[in-house]
Chains A and B, each alone.
Chain A
C-alpha cells in the first residue's frame, strides 16, 4: 500500500512539467532571496551609483563581518544552541590586537595566530560548559560575554591602548588594485567569498554538517545513531569563535580601535540567521540563506540610511521587519503542515 503510493508519487514526479518544476523551485527558495533582491533594487533606484561594481563592492566590504559572523552563528543554531558571545569576542579581538601589536608590524603574524587561538579557546569553553556541564547555551555564552567584556575593559583600563599596524589593517581596508572593471577588489570581499564557500560546503556537503543537523533536529535520535552530539556541538561553537576572530580582524581594519567595536553584533548575527529561515532550536536551515539574511540586514541599514531616517528610527524599523519576517516564516511553516 505504502510502496505503491510511493511508486505512484515517484512516477508523478517524473512526469511533472518543467513549468511545475520551475514553480516549485521558486516557491521552495527561501523568501529571504526575494527580500534581498527587493532591497538591493530599491537601493539602486534611490542611488543609481549602487550598480557600479566599485560601489557594490564597497557595500560587500561593509557587510563582510556580519555575513561571516552569521555563517559562524549558523553552525551553532543548526546544532540547537545560541552564541551570544560573538559580539564581545569581536571587541576583544580588536582591542587585544591593538594592545599586543602596539603598532609594530613585525608582531602582526604571531598576534593574528594568538587571536585565532583565543577564538578557538572561547569556542571550546562555550562548547564544553554547554555540552558537558549542561548549562543552557544562552547562559554559557551570556557569561562568556560578561567575562570577555569585563576582561577587555579591565586589561585596557577603560580606554583601548596601542594601535593597529598597517599590515594588520590591510585585510579590512585595502584590496588588490587595478583589477579590470572594479578598480579595487577588497581583501575583505575575497575573504568573505572564501569563508562563505567553505561554510556552505562544511554544513551541506560533509558528514560533520549532517551530524550537526541531526544533533539539532533530535539530539537523542542523533546520539543513538552514533553521533557524538557534545563533540559536534562543541565544534560548532569553535567555528563560531573562529568566525568572530575573522570578523574582528576585518572590523579592526575597517573601523579602527574602539571599545564597542563588536557591540550588538551577536543579536544582528542571530537575526540574520533567523531572517534566512533557520529555526531557533536547531535542525533546520540553509547556510546560503543565512548569509543572504545577513546581506539583507546590511542592505536594510543602507536603505534606511539612504531614506534619511535618523538612527533611532532605523532601530525601530529593523525590529518591526525582523518580527514580520519571522512571523511570515512561521505562517508558511504552519501552512506547509
Chain B
C-alpha cells in the first residue's frame, strides 16, 4: 500500500503518458518538416518558417481551446462561428477609431465569455450531448450573424493591425500571443487542480464525480477558455483583414480543422488523454503540409483529398499503437 495520494498518481500517470506520445508526435512533425522542406528545396522553392508559423496562429489558438474541451470529454463545433462573431463585432464596435479599441476588445471578450458559459451550461446543466449542443449554438450564432450582417462591417484602426503584422525583431507578435496561449493552457492542465480535474472527467465522468470532482464546474471552465481562444483567433484575423465578415470563421473551417489538429496531436477524441503540446505539433503538421502543397502547386481540391487521407492515416497509426500496447 503506497501512501501516494490518488491525485498525485493520476498526475504522474498523465505526465508519463504525455511524455511518450508527445515524443512520438514531435518525431512525426520532424519527419514531416524534413520531407516537406526537402521536397520544397528540391523543387527550387524557399522555406519561410515565420510565414508558416503565422499561418498556424489562427488555427493554433482555436485548437488549443478545442484541446481543453476534448480532454474533458466534450467537443465544440461552434468555434468557427465564434471566430466570426468576434471578428465582426470587433470591427463593428471599433469603427476604425483607436479610442474605441479597448471597448471593442472588451465587448468581444464579454461575448466570448457568454457563449462559452452558454455552451458549458447547456451541456452540464441540461444534459445535452456536446455534439448536439454546440452544433445548435453554431446554428444560432450563424443565424444571428447572417441576419444582422451581410458583408464586412466597420473596420479596426491601423494601430490594432499591429497584432497581425507587427513583430519584435524577427518574432511576430501573433506568434508570441500563440506561445503565451500554449504555455498558459499547458500550465493549467499540468499544474492546477482545474487541469487535473479535466483529465479525470475526460477519463471517466462518473468516477470523477464520485471522487468528489465538481465535474460541471470544470467543464464549464473548459468551454469558457475554449471560447476565449476563439476570441483571440477572431481578433488576430480581424487585425489581418482590417474588417470582419460573417464568413471568415466557416471559410477557415476552424470547427473540423481544429478537431483534426487535436486528434492529429495524439489527444483521444473520447477525452482524458493527450495535451496541448501534441496539439501544437498537430497544427504545425497541418501547416507544413499546406505549405508543401502550395509550393508544389498541388490542385486545391486534391489538397483536401490528401489532407483527409493523412488525418485518417495518422489517427489510425496512433490508435493501432495504443490498441497494441493495451492488448
**At the interface with chain A, which of B46-54, B96-104, B310-318?**
B310-318
Render A180-192 as a binary contact track against B, CB cut-off 8 A, 1 for contact.
0000000000000
Q: Is B320 an interface residue (CB 8 A)?
A: yes
Cβ-defined partner of B146 (8 Å) among A82, A315, A320, A330: A315
Cβ-defined partner of A151 (8 Å) among B128, B133, B305: B305
In angstroms, Cα B29 to Cα A189, docked, is 52
**At the interface with chain B, which of A34-42, A57-65, A139-147, A230-238?**
A139-147
**Are A330 and B319 within 8 A (Cβ)?**
no
| CB-defined contacts of B147 to chain A, threshold 8 Å | 310, 312-313, 316
Q: Is A114 an interface residue (CB 8 A)?
A: no
**Are B312 and A140 within 8 A (Cβ)?**
yes
| CB-defined contacts of A136 to chain B, threshold 8 Å | 263, 269-270, 315, 319
Knowing A136-B270, A149-B304, A323-B128 are in contact, say whether A129-B312 is a contact too (CB < 8 A).
yes
In angstroms, Cα B260 to Cα A143, docked, is 9
In this complex, the interface size class of chain B, counting residues with CB under 8 Å from chain A, is 35 or more
In the assembled complex, how far is the CB of residue A10 from the closest CB belonging to chain B, in whole angstroms?
Answer: 33
Main secondary structure of the interface of A (DSSP, over half): helix
Knowing A134-B316, A331-B127 are in contact, say whether A280-B142 is a contact too (CB < 8 A).
no
Quick one: which of B273-327 are within 8 Å of A by CB? 299-309, 311-312, 315-316, 319-320, 322-323
**Are B127 and A142 within 8 A (Cβ)?**
no
In the assembled complex, how far is the CB of residue A130 from the closest CB belonging to chain B, in whole angstroms?
Answer: 10
Number of interface residues of A (CB under 8 A): 48
In angstroms, Cα B301 to Cα A152, docked, is 8
| CB-defined contacts of A334 to chain B, threshold 8 Å | 127
**Are B140 and A316 within 8 A (Cβ)?**
yes
12 CB < 8 A contacts A-B: A82-B131, A134-B320, A135-B312, A142-B260, A143-B311, A151-B301, A270-B131, A310-B147, A319-B139, A319-B140, A323-B122, A326-B132
A-contacting residues of B (Cβ < 8 Å)? 122, 126-129, 131-133, 135-140, 142-147, 256, 259-260, 263, 269-270, 299-309, 311-312, 315-316, 319-320, 322-323
B-contacting residues of A (Cβ < 8 Å)? 82, 129, 133-136, 138-140, 142-147, 149-154, 158, 267, 270-271, 274, 279-281, 310-320, 322-323, 326-327, 330-331, 333-334
The 3 tightest CB contacts between A and B, nearest first, are A316-B143, A150-B304, A319-B139
